[in-house]
Each structure stands twice: as structure tokens, then as C-alpha cells.
Amino acid sequence: MKRFILLIIWLGFILYSVFLAPEGNGPYLSELLTMNHPDPSLLAMFSLLGVFPAVFAILLLRDDSGSVPAWPFVVGSFLLGAFSLLPYFILNKNKERSNRTPNKVRRFLQLRGLSIVLIGLAFGLMVYGLLAGDATIYQKAFLESNFVHVMTIDFLVLTGLSIVALRDRDGVAGWIGLLPIIGPLSLVITKNGKERKHA
């Protein structure tokens, strides 16, 4: 049932982005890509979408032993966000097999310092966007720009997928994922700390 719901979300997101999202991008996309003085709120959201795939690398590659490999979907998420990750959650089934992630990569992803850096970066971007950004500009861009519209929804879908990942991988309710990026990584730090103590 969960996979069917995610399939509907994935197909709906694609169809919505193509047929129902605003057409055109105005100046907003070029301002972000060229860093030509974009509004801080738009820049913060754009940048957070660059951090989120790293979070999913940590969440999914710690134990990549499912029926389909996670790494291609994680790599794709750096360009396509939830469009790339949703198929993984739809296709993957729990399966007893060896972890595909090399030990060196897994140890790097489990570094406490890496999660702390990502949390600090996400927190800084959120504060910057909220305090320095103009909500009316973001609202206008959301209503007029296809890119801003889709990236905002993408961020919300990624937030929801982090809840699913925590539930599937860590056996927790996952509601801490409602705090984007910071919540899931805080849980990972706590879990890794407990595992080291019991090792």
C-alpha cells in the first residue's frame, strides 16, 4: 500500500510539474543560476535542495542491502531531487544481502562531524532565508516561476521521504523528519552514538 501511494505521488508530481505548474521562469531561474542577486529566501531554498541529497546519502547508504541498489537514486537526486528518489522507495524491498556500500564510504557517511556540518549549513541557510529574504518576493516567484514552484514542492516531498526513510531504516516513527534536514541528521547522530557505546 505504501509503495502504491508513493507511485501515485511520483506520477502526480511529474504530471503536475509538466501540465499544472506555472509556465515560464521570469528572472528568477537565471538569477539563481548566475547568482545575480537572487532574493535570499529563494537562494536559501535552492541551496537547501543541494544539501538534502547528502542527507539521503547518509540515510540510505549506511545499509544499502535492499532489493535494488540505493546509490544510483541518491546520485540522481543531486540533479533531480525527489523525482529520482521516489522510484527507489517504490521499487525497493527489504532483502537479506550484503551491504553494497564500501566500508570506507560507509564510515565517512557515519562521521559525526559530517552530520554536524550539514546541520549547521542547513540551519544557517534557514535563518538567512527567513531573516534576510522577502516573503512577498518568494510568493510571487512561487506563483509565476515553474522552477521555483517545482523546487518548493520538491523540498516538501523530500521532507516527507525523510520520514519514510527513518521509519523504514531506523524503525522509528520518523516525525522528527518534519524538521527538514536537521531532524533526520540529529537522529542519525544519536543512533550512531548509542551504537558506538554498545560496540
Q: Residue 173: its pLDDT value, please? A: 76
Q: Residue 195: its pLDDT value, please? A: 66
Q: What angle do CA 165, 170, 176 make, to 5 degrees?
A: 65
* Spatial CA neighbour of 29 closest among 158, 125, 151: 151
Q: What is the rounded CA–CA span in Å between residue 76 and residue 80?
A: 6
Contacts of 190 (CB under 8 A, 6+ apart): none
pLDDT by position in tens, the chain (length 199): 889 999 999 999 999 999 999 999 999 999 999 999 999 999 999 999 999 999 999 999 988 988 999 999 999 999 999 999 999 999 998 877 888 999 999 999 999 999 999 999 999 999 999 999 999 999 999 999 999 999 999 999 999 999 999 998 887 877 889 999 999 999 999 887 666 665 5
Q: What is the rounded CA–CA span in Å between residue 64 and residue 134?
A: 41
* Spatial CA neighbour of 177 closest among 189, 164, 193, 191: 164
